[in-house]
Amino acid sequence: MKFTETRLKSAYIIEIEPIEDERGFFARSWCRQEFESHGLNPEIVQSSISFNKRRGTLRGMHYQASPHEEAKIARCTMGAIFDVIIDLRADSFTFKQWVAAELTAENRKMLYVPEGFAHGFLTLTDDTEVLYQMSTFYEPASARGIRWDDPAIGITWPLAVSAISARDQQYEPFGS
């Protein structure tokens, strides 16, 4: 696997390194030793799928508050997403900065989201599916979110939002 650190410390784009032959290819998509060698949390205790019917569906920006902060690996298994993370670590020199990656079924890239980050995405195609692997169990009492259009963060989304949950619409700007 190829690990490329983003400009947000500890957040990585992960690419598979396929071994191809006439049948197709084989590649590892997760390896505890490789995650540990990059200083990443290798724990996976839960996996979830998000299916989205329409292009322009926005989910986010979600995180779990302490003491239930989670690391997450996101991969688009069908369709395409504009995947966004925001550094919410107050002691980080990239505090309140964001980075995005286009994850598609074709490019098979993954985004490693460290603890202390908010995460969300916008679908770029109809019928999009996203697979998540998380380092800690979902804890409803620790579930939090911030506005996807918070002017203090300034995310530049590539297209208009056509579907968003009532919960995601009601989140407050960060720090308000």
CA atoms within 13 A on the CB side of 118: 26
Alpha carbon 39 to chain centroid, angstroms: 18
Q: Out of 62, 112, 119, 171, which one is annotated catalytic?
A: 62
Instruction: For residue 70, give the nearest of 88, 84, 53 by alpha carbon.
Output: 88
Instruction: For residue 47, give the nearest of 118, 122, 110 by alpha carbon.
Output: 110
CA atoms within 13 A on the CB side of 30: 16
132 is catalytic: yes
* N- to C-terminal Cα separation, the chain: 40
Cα–Cα distance list, 133 to 20, 86, 97, 160, 164 (Å): 26, 18, 23, 28, 22
Both structure tokens of 8: 């947000």
Q: Out of 12, 68, 132, 138, which one is annotated catalytic?
A: 132
62 is catalytic: yes
Residues catalogued as catalytic: 62, 132
